[in-house]
């Protein structure tokens, strides 16, 4: 794996910008089939917002995450490319939040499209399993130095209905998120997602992963998670969307978040691995 691989790129951006902040660039707008004449204007507006926020926040970021909110209206091989160009200009790793959970041949198509479109990493759901599920996706990522980040516990209220299940395994009863964290280790994932809304789960996942696999944590801000608690529990990167996007000054908000995280890390007296 060369120095252009996802994990190296993430480490470099982390160090360069002194930041553990991942921007979730989740702008969107309502498009409808009956108003095709408005699409061009709406796409331009959406693009403008996305690019402006990148320009204002880039120096405070470790990475950028893009989800279907932006991919679906802009089109992966259409206007979205201008957002990808901008992220590339700032040399930030770009993560596609596809929460991949299809059969192998479809997962591979999605992954190829995402990587070919200029993304450095993709998020996948380990629930789909290995054989004919994520095996070919990991193979593709390894071949190209790209990253795969696995969901281990999400940030929404109902996450316990799935990620919090107790499962009977050959090794006895296990929480679902423990099974997923163990898969992240075994499959050599480049990161995991654990919601900041559940610091106790972050801690348990950290005990399994140590500093081998970094923890990315959404749910800070609008969803109620607290930065200090999250990083104390073992989070390596905070994923923040709406708190920055809805701010009157996204650049300032990103800077403040970055500095708050760094203050917490300094207080913890540690240099937590950048991944």
Instruction: Kindly list the catalytic residues.
Output: 99
Determine if 233 is a binding residue for a second copy (CB under 8 A). Answer: no
- Nearer to a second copy among residue 128 and residue 265 (C-beta): 128
Question: Which residues lie below 8 Å from residue 184, measured CB to CB, with a gap of 6+?
Answer: 126, 150, 152, 192, 209, 213
Give the x/- contact pattern for a second copy in 105-124, rule: CB under 8 A.
Answer: -x--xx-xxx-xxx------
The residue to which tokens 């399994």 are assigned: 208
Rounded-to-integer distance, Cα 220 and Cα 257, Å? 10
Shortest Å, Cβ 38 to a second copy? 10
Q: For residues 125 and 99, is the Cβ–Cβ distance under 8 A? A: yes
Is 170 a binding residue for a second copy by CB under 8 A? The answer is no
Window 87-106: residues binding a second copy (CB under 8 A): 97-99, 101-104, 106
- 94 has which bridge partners? 64
Asked whether position 157 contacts a second copy by CB under 8 A, the answer is: yes
Q: Which of 2, 37, 143, 158 binds a second copy (CB under 8 A)?
A: 158
Residue 26 as a binder of a second copy (CB under 8 A): the answer is yes
Cα atoms in the 13 Å half-sphere on the side-chain side of 51: 16
Task: Select from 65-73, 141-149, 208-216, 245-253 the region that touches a second copy (CB under 8 A).
Answer: 65-73
Helical (H) or strand (E) element with 138: helix 135-144
Task: Please give the structure tokens belonging to residue 108.
Answer: 């591979």
Quote the CA–CA distance of 236 and 242 in Å, as a whole number: 20
In angstroms, rounded to a whole number, what is the distance separating the alpha carbons of residues 256 and 261? 9
Residues 6+ apart with CB under 8 A from 232: 199, 264, 268
Q: Which is nearer to a second copy, 17 or 155 (CB)?
A: 155
The Cα 94–Cα 122 span in angstroms is 9
- Residue 145 in contact with a second copy, rule: CB under 8 A: no
CB of 57 to a second copy, least distance (A): 20
Q: Are 225 and 195 in contact (CB under 8 A)?
A: yes
**In the bound complex, what is the minimum distance in angstroms from residue 106's beta carbon to a second copy?**
6
Q: Which is nearer to a second copy, 39 or 256 (CB)?
A: 39
The residue among 84, 86, 92, 142 whose CA lies nearest residue 116 is 84
By CB under 8 A, residue 154 contacts a second copy: yes
Q: Given candidates 45, 75, 249, 267, which one binds a second copy under the rule CB under 8 A?
A: 75
Among 8, 12, 18, 39, indicate the residue that binds a second copy (CB under 8 A): 39
In the complex, the smallest distance separating the C-beta of residue 147 from a second copy, rounded to whole angstroms, is: 17
- Determine the 3-state secondary structure of 21 from DSSP: strand
| Nearest approach, Cβ of residue 187 and a second copy (Å) | 12
Give the contacts of 50 (CB within 8 A, at least 6 positions apart): 25, 27, 70, 83, 86
Residues forming the site for a second copy (CB under 8 A): 26, 28, 30-33, 36, 39, 43, 67-69, 71-78, 81, 84, 97-99, 101-104, 106, 109-110, 112-114, 116-118, 125, 127-135, 154-162, 165-168, 173, 218, 223
């Amino acid at each position: 794996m060369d120095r252009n691989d996802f994990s190296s790129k993430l480490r470099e951006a982390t160090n360069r910008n002194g930041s553990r902040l991942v921007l979730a660039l989740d702008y969107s707008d309502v498009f409808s089939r009956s108003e095709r004449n408005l699409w061009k204007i709406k796409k331009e507006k959406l693009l403008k917002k996305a690019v402006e926020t990148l320009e204002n926040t880039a120096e405070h970021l470790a990475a950028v995450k893009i989800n279907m909110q932006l991919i679906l209206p802009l089109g992966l091989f259409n206007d979205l490319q201008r957002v990808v160009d901008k992220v590339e200009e700032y040399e930030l790793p770009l993560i596609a939040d596809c929460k991949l959970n299809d059969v192998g041949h479809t997962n591979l198509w999605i992954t190829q499209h995402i990587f070919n479109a200029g993304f450095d990493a993709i998020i996948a759901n380990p629930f789909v399993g290995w054989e004919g599920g994520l095996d070919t996706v990991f193979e593709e990522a390894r071949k190209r130095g790209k990253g795969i980040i696995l969901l281990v516990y999400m940030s929404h209220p109902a996450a316990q209905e799935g990620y919090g299940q107790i499962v009977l395994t050959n090794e006895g009863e296990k929480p679902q998120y423990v099974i997923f964290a163990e898969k992240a280790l075994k499959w050599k994932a480049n990161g995991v997602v654990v919601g900041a809304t559940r610091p106790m789960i972050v801690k348990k996942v950290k005990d399994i992963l140590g500093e081998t696999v970094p923890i990315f944590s959404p749910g800070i801000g609008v969803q109620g998670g607290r930065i200090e608690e999250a990083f104390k529990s073992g989070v390596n990167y905070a994923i923040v969307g709406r708190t920055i996007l809805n701010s009157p000054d996204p650049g300032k908000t990103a800077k403040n978040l970055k500095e708050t995280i760094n203050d917490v890390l300094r207080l913890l007296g540690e240099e937590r691995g950048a991944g």
